[in-house]
Amino acid sequence: MPMSDCIFCQIAQGKIPSEMVYEDDQVIAFKDIHPLAPVHLLVIPKLHLRSLNDVTPEQEPLIAHLFGVIRRLASELNVADSGYRVVTNTGADGGQVVGHLHFHLLGGKALNAEIG
Ligand code: AMP
Ligand code: ZN
């Protein structure tokens, strides 16, 4: 059920414009509006899940599919060999700002080695 006040649900529904690079029945990928690297995509389930904390065991195949999409996009965008990072910020301490589960795909430059 899309949440009408969720910006990523609205992007998934095409109600807010985005630079979409991939779509299937379960997942979309679009360019981050404030890119931190030459490749900076957000890969999200169309289903509104607030964070990784919301994922039930029944939904784990969806997350596995999403990671397959990430891997293929990394290859298509030519960062598979040079390397890339996949990040999902979860909750306040994780720095999550948008409350719809999303995975950052970052690449195209040597990323800062610090994670925390
Ligand atoms: P976070 O919740 O901290 O993982 O980060 C949310 C990310 O969403 C940030 O990198 C924002 O630049 C990005 N973002 C927010 N609004 C939009 C939008 N309308 N289109 C694309 N990216 C967005
Ligand atoms: Zn949503």
pLDDT score of 4 = 87
Q: Supply the mean pLDDT for the chain.
A: 97
Question: Residue 82 Cα, ligand 2 centroid: separation in angstroms?
Answer: 32
Q: How far is CA 79 from CA 18, 20, 38, 82, 107, in A?
A: 22, 18, 10, 5, 6
pLDDT score of 19 = 98
Which pLDDT tens digit goes with each residue over 32-73? 999 999 999 999 999 999 999 999 999 999 999 999 999 999
- The full set of domains in the chain, from first to last, is 3-107 (3.30.428.10)
pTM of the model: 0.97
With the most atoms of ligand 1 within 8 angstroms of its CB, the residue from 28, 40, 44, 97 to mutate is 97
DSSP state of 57: G
Binning pLDDT at 50, 70 and 90, where does residue 109 land? Answer: very high
